[in-house]
């Protein structure tokens, strides 16, 4: 899940690793071998190896922020988060670069990640001006990842690390600039300043005008989830759910904690199980909560389809 503290104080300086990498590459070159090159991944998404990390990440970060996605082929959540990051990097169009590291194919970087205290993937680090900042742990829905990246860059600008966001380019001659939707703008601004209640009201106004607005539904579901979990002790909630499998409210709270941690399948399975075991109002509460969590993902997401089939089986 996204880290809430984006301060660069205590960030890891990659200078020592950069120097060591240069020496290692020099030895390889002197021995007649050329450093391996990462596979091209488009202008804003690059595959990075043990040998190219110094050039593609550390040196590049002096001029543009780099988000480093540590992943592996066997990692299911990585396959959920990776396409979201690639989409957002393409949308950013060079404001930041996504570097992808296969930890199985690059043992030095995998070991370095573990030295930082990271024990699981997916894991995303932000590298700015040679400073590495742990950023994301685990998968998350696209709106949450988008919001976390916006918060990160806002914090970096406040620290004086990044310049202020440039103004948009003027429209071409004869072309009018698209007007911003003031209600959507209000929701986005509320999210950026951490005003969840204000964002909730803004999304509700959008849906009052157009109940079919899928983006607003997803935004509202994310805000409501964030409001529910902000005062929860995640470890205590999960422990209570394990001790009280028949307590539907405990299962509902635990499913929220799992959702914000990127453990989406576990959250869905938990609520399907609660529906299967429950009766009456408890069963209906678990069912309704599961349906509300579906709003966090696109309707064609395979995890939603799987959970819907599980729900139908539990109900009938």
CA distances from 193 to 3, 131, 190, 230, 311 (A): 16, 25, 5, 15, 37
Look at residue 136 and give its three-state secondary structure: strand
Closest CA to 22 of 14, 10, 13: 14
DSSP conformational letter for 2: B
At 124, give phi and psi (nearest 5°): -125, 130
Q: Looking up tokens 């399948």, which residue turns up?
A: 265
DSSP states along 156-184: HHHTTSSPPPPPPPPPPTT-PPPPP-HHH
Quick one: angle between helices 142-158 and 182-192, nearest 10?
70
Which residues does the annotation mark as catalytic?
Answer: 75, 78
Distance of CA 125 to the CA centre of its chain: 11
Q: In what order do the strands lie in the sheet containing 123-128?
A: 12-13, 131-137, 123-128, 66-71, 97-102, 45-48
Residues in the chain: 316
DSSP conformational letter for 129: T
Distance of CA 131 to the CA centre of its chain: 20
Cis peptide bond N-terminal to 122, omega within 30 = yes
């Amino acid at each position: 899940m996204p880290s809430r503290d984006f301060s660069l104080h205590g960030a890891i300086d990659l200078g020592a690793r950069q120097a060591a990498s240069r020496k290692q590459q020099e030895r390889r070159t002197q021995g007649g071998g050329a450093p391996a090159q990462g596979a091209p991944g488009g202008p804003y998404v690059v595959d990075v190896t043990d040998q190219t990390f110094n050039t593609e990440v550390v040196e590049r970060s002096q001029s543009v922020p780099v988000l480093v996605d540590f992943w592996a082929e066997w990692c299911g959540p990585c396959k959920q988060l990776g396409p979201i990051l690639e989409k957002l990097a393409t949308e950013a169009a060079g404001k930041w670069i996504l570097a992808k590291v296969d930890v199985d194919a690059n043992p030095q970087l995998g070991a370095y990640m573990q030295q930082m205290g990271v024990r699981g993937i997916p894991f995303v680090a932000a590298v700015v001006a040679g400073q590495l900042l742990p950023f994301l742990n685990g998968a998350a829905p696209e709106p949450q990842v988008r919001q976390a990246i916006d918060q990160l860059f806002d914090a970096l600008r406040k620290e004086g690390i990044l310049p202020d966001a440039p103004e948009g380019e003027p429209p071409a001659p004869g072309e009018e600039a698209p007007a911003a939707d003031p209600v959507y703008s209000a929701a986005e601004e509320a999210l950026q300043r951490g005003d969840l209640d204000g964002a909730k009201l803004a999304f509700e106004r959008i849906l009052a005008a157009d109940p079919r607005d899928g983006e607003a539904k997803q935004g509202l579901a994310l805000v409501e989830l964030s409001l529910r979990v902000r005062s929860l002790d995640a470890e205590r909630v999960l422990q209570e759910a394990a001790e009280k499998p028949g307590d539907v409210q405990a299962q509902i709270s635990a499913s929220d904690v799992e959702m914000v941690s990127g453990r989406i399948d576990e959250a869905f399975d938990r609520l399907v199980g609660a529906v299967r075991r429950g009766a009456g109002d408890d069963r209906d509460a678990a069912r309704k909560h599961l349906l509300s969590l579906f709003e966090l993902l696109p309707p064609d997401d395979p995890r939603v389809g799987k959970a819907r089939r599980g729900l139908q089986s539990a109900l009938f």
